[in-house]
Every structure is written in structure tokens, then in C-alpha cells.
Chains A and B, each alone.
Chain A
Amino acid sequence: MREQLEAIQAEALERISQTEDMKELQDIKVTYLGKKGSLTGVLRGMGKLSKEERPVVGEIANKVRESITAALDEKNEKLEQLQLEEQLEAETIDVTLPGRPVKVGGAHLLSSIVQELEDLFIGMGYEVREGPEVETDFYNFEALNLPKNHPARDMQDTFYITNELLLRTHTSPVQARTMQEYKGEKPVKMICPGKVYRRDTDDATHSHQFTQIEGLYVDKNVRMSDLKGTLDTFAKKMFGEDREIRLRPSFFPFTEPSVEMDISCKVCNGEGCSVCKGTGWIEILGGGMVHPKVLEMGGYDPEVYSGFAFGMGPERIAMLKYGVNDIRQFYTNDIRFLKQYHKA
């Protein structure tokens, strides 16, 4: 009987190893282990064995069953694996077809620039302040050392609504309002971004509406060299570490001394080209030390406090940094324009 069992085992294992088919494997299982299977058949004959032989043969029979079962399971797993692989192979798709589209929006280039500037100055300890776009003559002009009839008022052609109300021509009134709010009691360190308006005819370089960001720092012992260092930090972060800055004297009624800041031309690296009109420098912003009258009107004693202020135009920055050559593009909202810069 032992021989019989061993023969069954050998035969079964042989057949299991040969088969590559699930159905056949199932048949093999039935053939050997099923109710009418050959192993079962052999075991039925156990009753004829002696008491002594029975456990020995039983043990062998169990081992045979276990080995066949294990071989069946192993083969089964292997075949299932193969089957799955085959099935997955059949499920191959065209990966070059486009993905299911997701509508992608984005920020306007000027918003991106304003946000970048806000974050840059927040990092240097500035707060962001905002103010009304319709301003009083007082905050837009008088509080900034531009009394009525001041010749410099011609520099800014203004949209008036009434004699006293106007569309702000710069964001400087926010500075005046902030100083008044702080009552000369604590330092002011702020930037103010926003829309401004001038009585200009729209063309490639003029827009009756545009954006501005101004900064103001008032404290005890503020030096002009601090303005220079601050602007240098800004220019390098905004335009690249390899940019140089240069300050030139200028004139604004609300600052004294006043400066105009140029950065070295990126196109020619300061050598002189058509972009910088051969000078090697490009004008970026204006600023200066806050005029004592402006400090005074803001409630700050110019004997105790000093400060610097600066103002720049995000449109100009965008035009230089991204090569936009017509300011009207910012307000036309051509999708082809917006898409170019929505990740800027």
C-alpha cells in the first residue's frame, strides 16, 4: 500500500507540474483528492490493514495528501498570477490620450507682482495698508506738501469729481492717513498697494488707471543709507542678485532729499543697449527722505523722527521683468495674455 501511495503522489505531482491550465488543475485535484479520487480510494482500503499498520500508512497517506495539496495550491497561485498578468496586459490603454481636463484659473500678472512685493516687504517687517480710491484733495495733495497752486500739481493731471474729491493720483494718501492714525506715537513701517488714476490718454505707455505700491518707514534715526540698503534688497530679490542699483537726485514735493532709482540693465548688463537707451541703467522707482512738512502734518515731530518713502509701479516692473511692451495689455484681459502669465 505504501508503494501504491507513493506512486499516486509521484503521478499527481508530475501531472501538477505539467499542467498550465486552471481547469486541468481542478480536474487533477478531483482525480486524486476528490470523493472518488484515487487517494481516497486507497484510503478506503485502510480498513483491511492491521492495527499496527494503520497509523503508519495513515501517516504516509496524510503526508501524500499534504504534499499534493501544497503542490496544487502552489500551482494554483502561480496560474492565478499568470492569469492576472494576462488580464492586466489586455487592459493596456493609450497613455498618450489627454487627461480628463481640469479647468485651470490663475492670477493676473499685476496681482502676482503686487503679492510678491507684499510678501517681500512683510518679510522685512512692513505692514500692508489700504485706502480709498476716491480721495480728498487734502490727503492726496495738501497732506503731502502739495498745497493748492503748488506748481508740482501740474505734474499730476487729476480726475476731479468735485473741488474737494478726486480719484487718487498715487497711493501716498494712505501714508498720510496711516501717520495720522498712529498719531506720531509709534514707528510707521508700511507699504500700500492699490489702484491710482491720472488724466492721461491711454496708449502703449500711458493708462488712465494703473497700480502703485508705495512704502513708508518713519522712526527715530532713519538714515538715507537705510533707504539705499532697503531698495537694494528689494531690487536684488525682485530682479536678481546680480542687479546693481544706482540712486540719482530727483524731485518730489513729499520727499527731501529725493531720489530716483535705476537698476543695471539686464539685457546688456550695464553696457548700454536699446532697452536702456544706451545708458546701461533702467529707471525703476522714486523715493526719498520724508519731507519735514509731511511728517509734521502726519503728527510726527521732524526734530525727533525721520523717515523714508518710495513708490513704484507694478506695471513698469512687469514690463521690464516680463517684457510686456504695451501697458494696455494689463487691462484688455486678452486670454492669450492672461494665460502667459498666470503662473508668474
Chain B
Amino acid sequence: MLVSYNWLKNYVDLGDLTPEELAAKITKSGIEVESVEYVAEKSTDVVVGYVESCEQHPNADKLNLCQVDVGDQKLQIICGAPNIAEGQKVAVAKPGAILPGNFKIKKVKLRGVESNGMICSLKELGIEEKYVPTDLADGIFVFPEDATVGENVDERLNLNDAVLELDVLANRADALSMLGVAYEVGAILDQPVQLPEEAVTVIDEENVKSYISVEVEAADLNPYYGAFLIRNVEIKPSPLWMRNYLMAAGIRPINNVVDITNFVLLEYGQPLHAFDYDKFDSEKVLVRRATEGETIVTLDDQTRTLSEKNLVITNGKEPVALAGVMGGANTEVTAETKNVLLEAAYFDSSSVRGTVKQTGLRSESSTRYEKGVDPNRVKKAGSRACLLMEQFANGKVAAGVAEFDELDRSGKTVEMDINQINKRLGTEMKPDEVISILKRLKFEFEQNGTVFSVQAPTRRRDITIFEDMLEEVARMYGYDNLPFTLPQGASQAGALTQRQSLKRKVKNYIQGVGLMETLTYSLTNATDMKRLVSPEIREQAVAPVALAMPMSEEHKYLRLSILPELLRALAYNSARNHANLGYYELGSIFICDEEKVSKQPDEKLRVSGAITGKWLEHPWQQEKKDVDFYLVKGIVEGLIDHLDLNVSFRQAKIDDMHPGRCAVIEMNEQVVGFIGQLHPALAKEMDLKETYVFDVNLEEVFVAYEDIPSYTQIPKYPSIARDIAFILDENIHAGDVKDLIEEIGAPLVNQVGIFDVYQGANLEEGKKSVAYSLLYQHPDKTLKDDEVEESYQKIIEAVHEKFNAYVRS
């Protein structure tokens, strides 16, 4: 809502407050003022001048040579405007004047003739072009007769006005009108509100009812419809002050009748609509729901197809207006209009909102209806417009109003106990303070001891319960004046849950081993949605979870894997010469296990990572190594170890992964993720170097996690270490041999590690040597050499038997 400071002064005394000071006060009391802007940049030395004579320039066809009286002197000015004429009062920038845009006026010679100043258009005086009335768009501005020669134009053209832009939230529909703002400012400044005149002075002997009747078929959507008739109007520009206020409020003046409906809309917050009575083609207004497929051409010349959800104003035959949204082109007020049928109606908010949503048409009227108008101001606004039409359109206002009226105009009564107020606010207000606040707000009330019974005015339809009044009292008391206290309730211990602590533990570990945390979008595109999905998830996810109305194809589906977006992040950096990266993200994926989404998808927590390029950027002592499978595997093994759990890795094939360098992670024989190399083809497509990824199902990991690990006795007896190297066929998995060693060696072999893998010279083609370290340990005794030796031999035999392996000597 744009509020003109000068206009507002008509209703409430603003004292010495500057627009900025006023804005600060309004903001602090509850309606945020987003900006304060002046109608025009300040200009100097622009005065009203009288054009004494106007002749054609001796040397130029399109220029005129004018002699202009500006009060203290007479100036010869050359003017090119087409509408300049002798006898006009115009805006003159004298030599030395500065116009908006820091445009300095100097004496000049034009085609050999001296020009001492400039006759200005509204645009040249700083008014935004889009608000300049069309009839004034191509020429200089001409003042009405009563302008005084020599007076500064600022005040008369309202150029010194400031406009406050109020951010009116859904609850304060009342502040969408000048009167509503006046009440608000009046409450803040403790000033009375001066209401506008409404009574028409000359009552026409003709009654409106001889011209029009009103019938409403949808009283639920239109409980009040009032029709006024103003005859014999003279269509012309509205008075300058009204045009000024409209321009300040961001509305372009059209003609007096249209301007008056807009002016009253802004003043009262009540939309009005003027029909050309002679084009109405009927003596009856019928308000009804539209029929399916019915059409109307609206004022913007668009044909709109309607449905039963839309409320329309008809002349009994066809729609003439889309109720509360926009009028029809067929009954539009034009320069030829003589008789005006004026609508002042109350339309249901949800109906108007529905029509706005359906048509995409939003107007000053619809905005107000959508938020709800004051039932007690509908008819008054009609009367006010009638008075203005009488005054400024020379119309004759027919007696009475043709109306349909089932409108509930009652307001709410809210009870509030001052003790309750103090208890809820933490204040110690006295009844006098509350009385003073209610008076400032101009709310009527009855007091009974500490209890107040407040009659909420219908302009403030947001006030329905005690808490609403609590807010009114609090904001008038001043939020600044509330004390600072801390809750008195019994204190409880705040803490993270085990799951939350575990998330932090996982993050800390992964960051500790060198990966950078990222945050990517949960919404992805159709291709990425299917990519790099862990096998156990692919089994569960039946249908994609898609947005009904996505903003773009890029963000349409909820992700099933974090990896695709993570890879995009790598690619983004890689394209900027940062190709050595380790990224991870911990977040949810969304699984729908039905054919068609009907319930909330399962949100499952995962941690995924991707590494690419060189692991260490400048290791001057070591070899610069590319990331590899075993690095990513080590990270995952470390994570699992950090949580004191066990997993195994099984070679697997997964789409978009390198077929020979990929493994699923299994925990208790269930797949809980995967690791491996991104398929080189995909890496190439994304312009990435060799890239390795991991993806771990944290839900399963967290379930397996034991909060307090059980204590294991630290062995008191010495351990015995043995190393053993086997020569194996190169296709035998070292891990399988390790598993067998552990199986055969149990329970004496406590730990098995692989410390060397060798292939090459001194070994037969197709063979490799894998060296294992074994740690023997008995919990209750010192192991004897022969016990160890016996177990050691058994292991050698078993490995030989199963894998045809020999001990490397």
C-alpha cells in the first residue's frame, strides 16, 4: 500500500513529523514501512507563469515564441510543446532553475532567438511517466485558472509529497485504505481521525429505483449489493489535487468518474465499480454464479471463459463484470458516458480469491476483497463517491440506493482481563494504561473492574479473540517496553539424541579424514534421479516422488541418491581448475514403495562421498598419487571401525560404476551401500578425472550401533606374531584367503593383517604373493611355541588345499 504523506494529513494531524519519522513510528508499531520515496526529486525555481502571447518562432515551424509573466519578471521563452497556447498558466523553470536529474536551466539562443527558461511537462518535473495521465503525456502541464502567477509549483503539483510504502500483511486488511492508515497513525500519535464528507448536497427528485433494481442469486458470495445512479455527468479530468493523490498512490488518472471510484477505493478500502448506465442495456442488476463456459470480455480487452466457481454481475442476460475483480468492456465508462451506475458491493473473499487464481487477474479491487473489506464502509463508500461525482462531474445523484442486503455488520466483542494481560506479557500494567490504549485505538469498551469488554470495530476484522487484543495492547504499550525475563518453568536437561550424536560423530570422522562437507539440492532431474542408487534402495523404490508443479525439469524429483548432485559439485569445481577434491554429504533420500505416491515417502539417512584427482596436492616428499579404490575403501572401513561395527565388501556390478572396481558393503549379510570407481564413461561425460565414490546407509549402521560397547578384558599374557606369505593365482581374492586364515586360526589367531602384495620378477606369470601377519593371543594363558606352530601348519594346509597356494620361502 502506497500512502501519500500529504493525503494522509487530511485525516490525521501529523504535527511536525517528517515522513521518515512517521515511517519509523509506523514500523515499530506493527506495519513495516518498506520505503519512503518522494514524488519528485527536488527542483528549484519552478513557478506558475502566465502565457501572455504565443507566436510562431520566426525561424522554426515547430517552435513557439512565448512571452511569459512569472510574477517578478517577464520572460521570453521558446517552447516546442504542441499544446502551448496564449492565456495558459504553465510551469516555468526560470534561468538558474534545477530540474530533476540535475538538469540546469540556462539562457540559450534557439535558431537565433533568445530563450530565458523552460515551460515544463509533468515528466520533466519528475513525475514517473507511467503515472502521467494520457491526455498530458505529450505536452506541457496546464494549471487551472485559480493558480497564482509566480507561486512555486511544488505544492500545487504535490511534488513535495513523500510516499510511504507499507508492507501490509494478511491480517491487516484495514491498512489497505487511507482511513485505516489514519486510524493506525491516530492510535500511534494519540490523535483523532477526521472522517470525509459523505452526504450529497442536492437530492435528485428522481429515485434510483425507477432506473434500476438489484437481485442476487448467490447471497453467500454476495451478501450486499448497492447500486447508485448519477445522471448527466460531465466526463472530464478530475481535479488536480485528486490526480496528484492518485499519482502518488501509484494509480494513473483517467477521467473524473473513474478517478473518483479509484480515489474512494484508496480512501475507504472499498472497491467500487462504475458502469455506463446507457450501455447497461437493462434495468436490473442480477448477481449470480457464472454458467460453465460463459464468456466475458474484461476491461483489458481479454476474453475470459468462466465456470460455476466465478461470481458475475449481469444485466439479467449476460455478464457485465467479474465480481470484485474487473469490469466488462461492454459497459465501460468513456468520454461519451452520461449516466453512471455505481456499484458498491460486498463480495466473499474466498470467491474473489478463487477467480483471481483461476484468471490470473489481480487488481486493486480484488486485492482488497481477497483480504476482506469492512461491512460498515460499503454503503458509505458509495455515498462518498456520489458526493464527489456531484462535486467534480456535475452529476445529479438519484435519491436512494437499489440494494440487496443480507450483510452481517456486527463486530466481535472480546473479553480481556488485565491480570491475564499482565500474566501473558510479563508486565504490570494498570487499568488506566489499558484504557488509554483502547482510547487511542478508538475501540469502544466497557470496564468492569479488571475486566474489559471490547467491541472490535469491523474495520479490524483480525480481532476476534483475547490474544488479538493482547497484541493490540502490547504493540500500543510498545514491545520495547516489555521487560527481558527468562522462563520460570522447571528446567530440563537439553541434549542430543543418540541419533543426532551419531550424525555428528560420522561428520566429524569424515571431515577428520579430509573430506569437505557439502550441501546439495534434494530435488533433481529425471536422469540423476535414477543414477547411482544403492542396490538395496533400488529394490525398495517403486515409483519416483515427483513434484506436481515443478519450477523446472532440473528440480522435479526427490533424490534417491546423494551422489549425482555431489558429482555435479565436483564437476563445477573441476571446470574451474580445482580438480583435486574430496566431498561428502550427509542427508536424506526419499523412497516411495508404492506404484503411486499416496503417503509420505520413507526418508532415509545416508552419507555419500566422492573423491577425484590427486589426494594430496603438493607432497614434495612422496609420489603425487591419484585417488584410488583403496583410499575410498579405507575411508569407509575407518568409519565403520570408528563406530565399532563390522562390514564386508563383495565385488558387485552397479550401473554407472566401473564394472571391475565396485563393491557392495554388507552388514550382517544385508547390503548397506557401495563403493567403487565411477564409470569412466560417466566421468568423461562430466569432465571428471578418475573418481571414486562411497554411499552408506546410515539407518542400518545406526541400528547396529551399540551405545556403550561391552568391556573386553585387556589380555595379560604375551602375544606371538607370525608372518606368512602365500603365492596365489592372481585372480584369487586376498580377502578370501584372509577369511580362511581367520576361520582356521580361531580362537588363537586374534588378528590377521595384509601387509604386502607383490607381483613381478621372481614370480611365475599369473601368480601373486600376498603376505599376512598373524597375531596369536590366548586370553587365559601364555601360548606355547608348539601350540602356535600346530595352528600355523593347519592354516598353511588349509590355504593350500582351498586355494592351491604355497608358502613363499
Contacts and interface: CB of A to CB of B under 8 A. Distances in A.
Interface of A: 97-98, 100-108, 110-111, 115, 118, 121-128, 130, 132-136, 149, 151-152, 154-155, 159-162, 165, 167, 187, 189, 195, 197, 199-201, 208-209, 217, 219-226, 228-230, 232-233, 246-251, 253, 256-260, 279, 289, 291-292, 306, 330-336, 338-339, 342
Given A132-B603, A228-B484, A251 B170 contact: yes
9 contacts: A122-B494, A125-B492, A130-B500, A195-B587, A199-B549, A229-B486, A232-B484, A249-B479, A250-B169
B220 to A, nearest CB: 14
Interface in B319-359: 349-350, 353
A248 B479 contact: yes
B493 A125 contact: yes
B483 A124 contact: no
A84 B497 CA distance: 58
Given A160-B547, A335-B516, 10 more contacts: A105-B513, A108-B516, A133-B522, A151-B353, A152-B170, A225-B483, A226-B488, A246-B28, A289-B467, A334-B573
Contacts of A104: 514
Interface of B: 24, 27-30, 32, 169-172, 349-350, 353, 370-371, 423-427, 465-468, 470-471, 474-475, 479-480, 482-497, 500, 504, 507, 510-523, 545-551, 555, 558, 569, 572-573, 576, 578, 581-584, 587-588, 590, 597-601, 603, 615-622
A151 B471 contact: no
B474 A257 contact: yes
Given A106-B517, A209-B522, A228-B484, A98 B491 contact: no
Nearest to B495: A122
A105 B512 contact: yes
Contacts of A251: 169-172
Contacts of A220: 489
Contact of B616 (A101, A199, A230): A101
- 6 closest A-B pairs by CB: A103-B514, A225-B426, A249-B30, A257-B471, A223-B426, A333-B569
B426 A151 contact: no
A176 B425 CA distance: 23
Q: Chain A contact residues: over half helix, strand or loop, or mixed?
A: mixed
B603 A124 contact: no
A334 B516 CA distance: 11
B511 A107 contact: yes
B353 A226 contact: no
Contact of A122 (B28, B484, B496, B601): B496
Contacts of B581: 335
A219 B487 contact: yes
A171 B547 CA distance: 19
A133 B516 contact: no
A133 B603 contact: yes
A187 B490 CA distance: 9
Most buried by B among A149, A217, A224, A336: A224
Given A104-B514, A160-B547, A334-B576, A247 B479 contact: yes
A260 B573 CA distance: 39
B511 A187 contact: no
Contacts of B350: 149
A100 B497 CA distance: 38
Contacts of A165: 597, 599-600
Contacts of B616: 101, 103
Given A165-B600, A333-B573, A209 B521 contact: yes
A248 B27 contact: yes
Contacts of B582: 103, 105
B306 to A, nearest CB: 20
A332 B485 contact: no
A139 to B, nearest CB: 10
B333 to A, nearest CB: 31
Contacts of B495: 122, 127
Given A250-B30, A251-B172, A338-B518, A333 B572 contact: yes
A335 B425 contact: no
Contacts of B371: 151
B424 A105 contact: no
A265 to B, nearest CB: 14
B519 A330 contact: yes
A118 B569 CA distance: 27
A90 B550 CA distance: 71
Contact of A342 (B24, B170, B510, B516): B516
Contacts of A226: 426, 485-488
B170 to A, nearest CB: 4
Contacts of A209: 521-523
A98 B589 CA distance: 41
Contact of B488 (A128, A197, A221, A331): A221
A331 B496 contact: no
Contacts of A102: 514
A97 B516 contact: no
Contacts of B555: 208
Given A149-B353, A223-B426, A106 B548 contact: no
Contacts of A223: 423-426, 485
Given A128-B497, A209-B523, A256 B511 contact: no
B494 A111 contact: no
A104 B515 CA distance: 7
Contacts of B425: 223-225
A158 B550 CA distance: 10
A189 B622 contact: no
A247 B504 CA distance: 34
A246 B480 contact: yes
Contact of B467 (A127, A151, A154, A292): A292
B470 to A, nearest CB: 6
A335 to B, nearest CB: 5
Nearest to A342: B516
B476 to A, nearest CB: 9
Contacts of A279: 24
Most buried by B among A97, A135, A165, A225: A225
A289 B425 CA distance: 9
A257 to B, nearest CB: 3
Contacts of B172: 251
Given A189-B492, A220-B489, A247-B482, A161 B576 contact: no
Nearest to B603: A132
B706 to A, nearest CB: 22
B169 to A, nearest CB: 4
B356 to A, nearest CB: 10
B522 A105 contact: no
Contacts of A246: 28, 479-480
B427 A98 contact: no
B424 A101 contact: no
B517 A221 contact: no
A121 B486 CA distance: 13
Contacts of B466: 292
A152 B573 CA distance: 41
B185 to A, nearest CB: 15
A334 B172 CA distance: 43
Most buried by B among A126, A152, A208: A208
Nearest to B581: A335
Nearest to B500: A128
A188 to B, nearest CB: 10
Given A107-B507, A125-B493, A230-B486, A331 B603 contact: no
Nearest to B29: A249
A97 B620 contact: yes
Contacts of B523: 159, 197, 208-209
B468 A249 contact: no
Contacts of A257: 467, 470-471, 474-475
Given A111-B517, A257-B470, A233 B486 contact: yes
